[in-house]
Amino acid sequence: MISKLNEAILRTEAPVVVGLDPNLKFIPDAVREQAFAAYGETAEGAAEAFRIFNFAIIDAIADLVPAVKPQIAMYEQFGLPGLAVFDRTVKYAQEKGLIVIGDVKRGDIGSTSESYARGHLGATQVGDTSVRGFDEDFVTVNPYLGSDGVKPFVEVAKNEDKGIFVLVKTSNPSSGELQDLMVRDAGGRERPLYEVVGGLVDAWGAECMDGDYSNVGAVVGATYPEQGRILREIMPHAVILVPGYGAQGGKGSDLKHFFHPGGLGAIVNSSRGIIAAWKEERYASYGAAGFAEASRAAVLAMKEDLRQAWA
Protein backbone atom coordinates (compact mmCIF):
# COMPACT_ATOMS: atom_id res chain seq x y z
CA MET A 1 0.00 0.00 0.00
CA ILE A 2 2.87 2.42 0.72
CA SER A 3 4.07 2.07 -2.89
CA LYS A 4 0.55 2.96 -4.02
CA LEU A 5 0.65 6.03 -1.78
CA ASN A 6 4.07 7.04 -3.10
CA GLU A 7 2.90 6.65 -6.71
CA ALA A 8 -0.07 8.86 -5.95
CA ILE A 9 2.19 11.47 -4.32
CA LEU A 10 4.36 11.57 -7.45
CA ARG A 11 1.36 11.63 -9.80
CA THR A 12 -0.34 14.52 -7.99
CA GLU A 13 2.97 16.23 -7.13
CA ALA A 14 1.54 16.55 -3.64
CA PRO A 15 2.93 14.99 -0.48
CA VAL A 16 -0.32 16.18 1.05
CA VAL A 17 -3.11 14.58 3.00
CA VAL A 18 -6.29 16.48 3.73
CA GLY A 19 -7.54 15.93 7.26
CA LEU A 20 -11.29 15.42 7.29
CA ASP A 21 -11.86 16.48 10.91
CA PRO A 22 -15.18 18.29 10.64
CA ASN A 23 -16.55 20.41 13.43
CA LEU A 24 -19.98 22.02 13.44
CA LYS A 25 -18.24 25.39 13.81
CA PHE A 26 -16.49 24.93 10.43
CA ILE A 27 -19.67 24.03 8.58
CA PRO A 28 -21.56 26.78 6.75
CA ASP A 29 -25.01 27.64 8.12
CA ALA A 30 -26.72 26.53 4.93
CA VAL A 31 -25.25 23.02 5.17
CA ARG A 32 -26.16 22.72 8.84
CA GLU A 33 -29.70 23.92 8.13
CA GLN A 34 -30.14 21.45 5.28
CA ALA A 35 -29.01 18.59 7.56
CA PHE A 36 -31.11 19.69 10.53
CA ALA A 37 -34.15 20.09 8.27
CA ALA A 38 -33.82 16.42 7.35
CA TYR A 39 -32.84 14.96 10.75
CA GLY A 40 -33.42 17.65 13.39
CA GLU A 41 -30.86 18.93 15.87
CA THR A 42 -29.75 15.40 16.67
CA ALA A 43 -26.67 13.23 16.37
CA GLU A 44 -28.07 12.15 12.98
CA GLY A 45 -28.42 15.81 11.96
CA ALA A 46 -24.84 16.64 12.97
CA ALA A 47 -23.57 13.54 11.18
CA GLU A 48 -25.51 14.43 8.02
CA ALA A 49 -23.96 17.92 8.10
CA PHE A 50 -20.53 16.27 8.28
CA ARG A 51 -21.43 14.02 5.35
CA ILE A 52 -22.58 16.83 3.05
CA PHE A 53 -19.52 18.91 4.02
CA ASN A 54 -17.03 16.04 3.56
CA PHE A 55 -18.45 14.86 0.25
CA ALA A 56 -18.29 18.38 -1.21
CA ILE A 57 -14.69 18.78 -0.08
CA ILE A 58 -13.71 15.35 -1.42
CA ASP A 59 -15.26 16.26 -4.78
CA ALA A 60 -13.31 19.55 -4.81
CA ILE A 61 -9.88 18.13 -3.95
CA ALA A 62 -9.83 14.51 -5.20
CA ASP A 63 -7.74 15.29 -8.31
CA LEU A 64 -5.19 17.36 -6.36
CA VAL A 65 -3.99 15.08 -3.55
CA PRO A 66 -3.23 11.41 -2.96
CA ALA A 67 -5.02 10.93 0.34
CA VAL A 68 -7.43 12.06 3.01
CA LYS A 69 -7.25 11.42 6.75
CA PRO A 70 -10.57 11.37 8.60
CA GLN A 71 -10.08 11.78 12.36
CA ILE A 72 -12.47 9.23 13.86
CA ALA A 73 -12.84 11.13 17.16
CA MET A 74 -14.81 13.87 15.42
CA TYR A 75 -17.36 11.27 14.29
CA GLU A 76 -17.24 9.12 17.43
CA GLN A 77 -18.34 12.12 19.49
CA PHE A 78 -21.80 11.63 17.94
CA GLY A 79 -21.89 7.90 18.67
CA LEU A 80 -23.31 5.51 16.07
CA PRO A 81 -24.71 8.09 13.61
CA GLY A 82 -21.31 9.82 13.61
CA LEU A 83 -19.47 6.56 12.99
CA ALA A 84 -21.85 5.71 10.16
CA VAL A 85 -20.73 8.93 8.45
CA PHE A 86 -17.07 8.11 9.17
CA ASP A 87 -17.72 4.83 7.33
CA ARG A 88 -19.45 6.56 4.42
CA THR A 89 -16.65 9.13 4.21
CA VAL A 90 -14.01 6.38 3.98
CA LYS A 91 -15.91 4.64 1.21
CA TYR A 92 -16.75 7.80 -0.72
CA ALA A 93 -13.13 8.96 -0.70
CA GLN A 94 -11.98 5.53 -1.89
CA GLU A 95 -14.56 5.60 -4.71
CA LYS A 96 -13.06 8.93 -5.78
CA GLY A 97 -9.63 7.33 -6.03
CA LEU A 98 -8.24 8.67 -2.76
CA ILE A 99 -6.19 6.65 -0.29
CA VAL A 100 -7.71 6.81 3.20
CA ILE A 101 -5.67 7.10 6.38
CA GLY A 102 -7.95 6.41 9.34
CA ASP A 103 -6.66 8.56 12.17
CA VAL A 104 -7.79 6.21 14.92
CA LYS A 105 -4.71 6.02 17.20
CA ARG A 106 -5.75 2.57 18.39
CA GLY A 107 -3.52 0.23 20.35
CA ASP A 108 -4.10 -2.49 22.94
CA ILE A 109 -2.68 -5.84 24.03
CA GLY A 110 -2.15 -8.67 21.50
CA SER A 111 -5.48 -10.24 20.60
CA THR A 112 -7.33 -6.98 21.21
CA SER A 113 -5.03 -5.05 18.88
CA GLU A 114 -5.66 -7.79 16.37
CA SER A 115 -9.40 -7.07 16.59
CA TYR A 116 -8.78 -3.38 15.95
CA ALA A 117 -6.48 -4.24 13.04
CA ARG A 118 -9.06 -6.54 11.48
CA GLY A 119 -11.83 -4.00 12.07
CA HIS A 120 -9.96 -1.16 10.38
CA LEU A 121 -7.68 -2.81 7.82
CA GLY A 122 -8.69 -6.43 7.46
CA ALA A 123 -11.49 -8.92 7.83
CA THR A 124 -13.02 -11.20 10.46
CA GLN A 125 -14.42 -14.64 9.77
CA VAL A 126 -18.11 -15.09 10.62
CA GLY A 127 -19.02 -18.70 9.86
CA ASP A 128 -18.12 -19.11 6.19
CA THR A 129 -18.17 -15.36 5.47
CA SER A 130 -15.28 -12.94 5.66
CA VAL A 131 -16.60 -9.66 7.08
CA ARG A 132 -14.80 -6.35 6.56
CA GLY A 133 -15.19 -3.46 9.03
CA PHE A 134 -14.23 0.13 8.25
CA ASP A 135 -11.64 -0.95 5.70
CA GLU A 136 -9.37 2.08 5.60
CA ASP A 137 -6.05 1.82 3.72
CA PHE A 138 -3.85 2.96 6.63
CA VAL A 139 -4.47 3.62 10.31
CA THR A 140 -2.50 5.42 12.99
CA VAL A 141 -1.37 3.28 15.95
CA ASN A 142 -0.32 4.16 19.52
CA PRO A 143 2.86 2.34 20.65
CA TYR A 144 2.61 2.73 24.45
CA LEU A 145 1.84 -0.99 24.95
CA GLY A 146 4.96 -2.15 23.09
CA SER A 147 5.57 -4.69 20.34
CA ASP A 148 2.77 -7.07 21.18
CA GLY A 149 0.33 -4.19 20.85
CA VAL A 150 1.71 -3.08 17.46
CA LYS A 151 2.67 -6.32 15.74
CA PRO A 152 -0.93 -7.50 15.19
CA PHE A 153 -1.41 -4.35 13.09
CA VAL A 154 1.82 -5.11 11.21
CA GLU A 155 0.64 -8.67 10.51
CA VAL A 156 -2.74 -7.57 9.18
CA ALA A 157 -1.10 -4.79 7.12
CA LYS A 158 1.28 -7.34 5.60
CA ASN A 159 -1.45 -9.83 4.75
CA GLU A 160 -3.85 -7.24 3.36
CA ASP A 161 -1.30 -4.94 1.67
CA LYS A 162 -2.34 -2.07 3.90
CA GLY A 163 -0.27 0.14 6.19
CA ILE A 164 0.08 1.84 9.57
CA PHE A 165 1.63 5.01 10.94
CA VAL A 166 2.94 4.61 14.48
CA LEU A 167 2.89 7.65 16.79
CA VAL A 168 6.52 8.55 17.45
CA LYS A 169 6.69 12.30 18.19
CA THR A 170 3.29 13.97 18.15
CA SER A 171 2.65 17.60 17.19
CA ASN A 172 0.95 18.79 20.39
CA PRO A 173 2.58 21.13 22.93
CA SER A 174 2.86 18.54 25.72
CA SER A 175 4.06 15.69 23.48
CA GLY A 176 7.48 16.02 25.09
CA GLU A 177 6.17 15.25 28.57
CA LEU A 178 6.73 11.53 27.97
CA GLN A 179 8.12 11.36 24.43
CA ASP A 180 11.16 13.60 25.09
CA LEU A 181 12.20 11.97 28.37
CA MET A 182 15.80 10.83 28.25
CA VAL A 183 15.83 7.06 28.56
CA ARG A 184 18.52 4.45 28.77
CA ASP A 185 18.07 2.15 25.77
CA ALA A 186 18.89 -1.58 25.59
CA GLY A 187 22.51 -0.71 24.82
CA GLY A 188 22.79 1.59 27.88
CA ARG A 189 22.87 4.76 25.76
CA GLU A 190 20.83 7.80 26.85
CA ARG A 191 18.48 9.22 24.25
CA PRO A 192 14.93 10.57 24.07
CA LEU A 193 12.06 8.11 24.20
CA TYR A 194 10.88 9.11 20.70
CA GLU A 195 14.19 7.86 19.30
CA VAL A 196 13.66 4.47 20.95
CA VAL A 197 10.16 4.34 19.43
CA GLY A 198 11.67 5.38 16.06
CA GLY A 199 14.05 2.42 16.34
CA LEU A 200 11.14 0.09 17.01
CA VAL A 201 9.27 1.47 13.99
CA ASP A 202 12.32 0.71 11.84
CA ALA A 203 12.46 -2.87 13.21
CA TRP A 204 8.71 -3.49 12.85
CA GLY A 205 8.84 -2.07 9.34
CA ALA A 206 11.57 -4.42 8.17
CA GLU A 207 8.98 -7.24 8.11
CA CYS A 208 6.69 -5.26 5.90
CA MET A 209 8.62 -3.69 3.00
CA ASP A 210 6.75 -2.60 -0.15
CA GLY A 211 9.23 -1.15 -2.65
CA ASP A 212 11.77 1.25 -1.13
CA TYR A 213 9.55 1.98 1.84
CA SER A 214 7.78 -0.03 4.50
CA ASN A 215 4.08 -0.34 5.12
CA VAL A 216 4.98 0.69 8.68
CA GLY A 217 5.32 4.47 8.76
CA ALA A 218 5.58 6.98 11.60
CA VAL A 219 3.85 10.11 12.86
CA VAL A 220 6.20 13.03 13.59
CA GLY A 221 4.76 16.52 14.13
CA ALA A 222 5.65 19.43 11.80
CA THR A 223 6.08 21.44 14.97
CA TYR A 224 9.29 19.50 15.80
CA PRO A 225 11.48 19.81 12.66
CA GLU A 226 14.79 19.10 14.42
CA GLN A 227 13.44 15.83 15.82
CA GLY A 228 12.17 15.14 12.30
CA ARG A 229 15.72 15.31 10.95
CA ILE A 230 16.99 12.75 13.48
CA LEU A 231 14.00 10.46 13.07
CA ARG A 232 14.36 10.59 9.27
CA GLU A 233 17.81 8.98 9.79
CA ILE A 234 16.66 6.44 12.40
CA MET A 235 13.77 5.24 10.20
CA PRO A 236 15.16 5.25 6.64
CA HIS A 237 12.33 3.10 5.25
CA ALA A 238 9.41 4.77 7.02
CA VAL A 239 7.17 7.29 5.34
CA ILE A 240 6.58 10.02 7.89
CA LEU A 241 3.04 11.30 8.32
CA VAL A 242 3.46 14.92 9.42
CA PRO A 243 0.58 16.58 11.31
CA GLY A 244 0.72 20.09 12.72
CA TYR A 245 1.24 21.97 9.45
CA GLY A 246 -0.67 25.23 9.15
CA ALA A 247 -3.11 25.80 11.98
CA GLN A 248 -0.77 24.15 14.52
CA GLY A 249 2.15 26.33 13.39
CA GLY A 250 4.39 24.26 11.08
CA LYS A 251 5.52 25.80 7.75
CA GLY A 252 6.68 24.29 4.46
CA SER A 253 10.25 25.55 4.82
CA ASP A 254 10.52 23.80 8.22
CA LEU A 255 9.75 20.44 6.72
CA LYS A 256 12.61 19.64 4.37
CA HIS A 257 14.29 17.27 6.84
CA PHE A 258 11.21 15.05 6.86
CA PHE A 259 11.75 14.25 3.17
CA HIS A 260 14.35 12.24 1.34
CA PRO A 261 16.14 13.90 -1.59
CA GLY A 262 13.85 13.30 -4.56
CA GLY A 263 10.70 14.18 -2.70
CA LEU A 264 9.41 11.00 -1.11
CA GLY A 265 9.55 9.90 2.52
CA ALA A 266 6.91 12.15 4.01
CA ILE A 267 3.29 13.19 3.64
CA VAL A 268 2.05 16.35 5.32
CA ASN A 269 -1.43 16.67 6.79
CA SER A 270 -3.52 19.79 6.98
CA SER A 271 -7.01 19.68 8.43
CA ARG A 272 -8.48 23.00 9.56
CA GLY A 273 -6.25 24.95 7.14
CA ILE A 274 -8.01 23.21 4.25
CA ILE A 275 -11.51 22.33 5.35
CA ALA A 276 -12.12 25.61 7.20
CA ALA A 277 -10.29 27.75 4.61
CA TRP A 278 -13.54 29.56 3.74
CA LYS A 279 -13.47 31.16 7.21
CA GLU A 280 -10.04 32.70 6.64
CA GLU A 281 -9.66 36.26 5.41
CA ARG A 282 -7.50 35.24 2.43
CA TYR A 283 -10.28 33.00 1.08
CA ALA A 284 -13.19 35.24 2.10
CA SER A 285 -14.08 35.94 -1.51
CA TYR A 286 -15.39 32.38 -1.90
CA GLY A 287 -18.10 33.03 0.69
CA ALA A 288 -19.77 30.35 2.77
CA ALA A 289 -21.37 28.82 -0.32
CA GLY A 290 -17.93 28.40 -1.89
CA PHE A 291 -16.46 26.48 1.07
CA ALA A 292 -15.40 23.52 -1.07
CA GLU A 293 -13.79 25.74 -3.71
CA ALA A 294 -11.97 27.59 -0.91
CA SER A 295 -10.61 24.25 0.30
CA ARG A 296 -9.40 23.56 -3.25
CA ALA A 297 -7.60 26.92 -3.31
CA ALA A 298 -6.04 26.18 0.09
CA VAL A 299 -4.75 22.82 -1.18
CA LEU A 300 -3.16 24.51 -4.18
CA ALA A 301 -1.49 27.08 -1.88
CA MET A 302 -0.26 24.31 0.43
CA LYS A 303 1.21 22.38 -2.51
CA GLU A 304 3.06 25.52 -3.55
CA ASP A 305 4.34 26.15 -0.01
CA LEU A 306 5.54 22.56 0.33
CA ARG A 307 7.66 22.77 -2.83
CA GLN A 308 10.23 24.52 -0.62
CA ALA A 309 10.47 21.34 1.42
CA TRP A 310 10.61 18.62 -1.16
CA ALA A 311 10.96 19.77 -4.79
Among 196, 218, 238, 277, binds its own copies (CB under 8 A): 196
Question: Of 30, 80, 206, 311, which lies in the binding site for its own copies, with binding defined by CB under 8 A?
Answer: 80
308 part of the interface to its own copies, by CB under 8 A? no
| Residue 115 is a binding residue for its own copies (CB under 8 A) | yes
Listed ranges 3-11, 189-197, 205-213, 280-288: which one lies at the site for its own copies (CB under 8 A): 189-197
In the chain the first and final C-alpha atoms are separated, in Å, by 23
Residues 6+ apart with CB under 8 A from 186: none
Among 183, 209, 288, 301, binds its own copies (CB under 8 A): 183
Alpha helices in the chain (DSSP H): 2-12, 29-39, 43-61, 72-76, 79-95, 110-120, 147-160, 176-179, 193-206, 225-234, 272-275, 291-310
Segment near its own copies (CB under 8 A); pick from 57-65, 168-176, 208-216, 302-310: 168-176
Q: Which residues are catalytic?
A: 105
Closest CA to 18 of 273, 208, 212, 250: 273
Q: Does 246 bind its own copies (CB under 8 A)?
A: no
| Single residue of 7, 37, 42, 289 touching its own copies by CB under 8 A | 42
87 touches its own copies by CB under 8 A = yes
Min. distance of Cβ 4 from its own copies in angstroms? 23
Query: By rule CB under 8 A, what count of residues binds its own copies?
Result: 74
Residues in Cβ contact with 221 at an 8 Å cutoff, skipping those fewer than 6 apart: 169, 170, 171, 172, 175, 242, 243, 244, 248, 250
Indicate the residue among 32 and 237 with the shorter CB distance to its own copies.
Answer: 32
Q: Strand 99-106 vs strand 138-141: parallel, antiparallel, or unpaired?
A: parallel
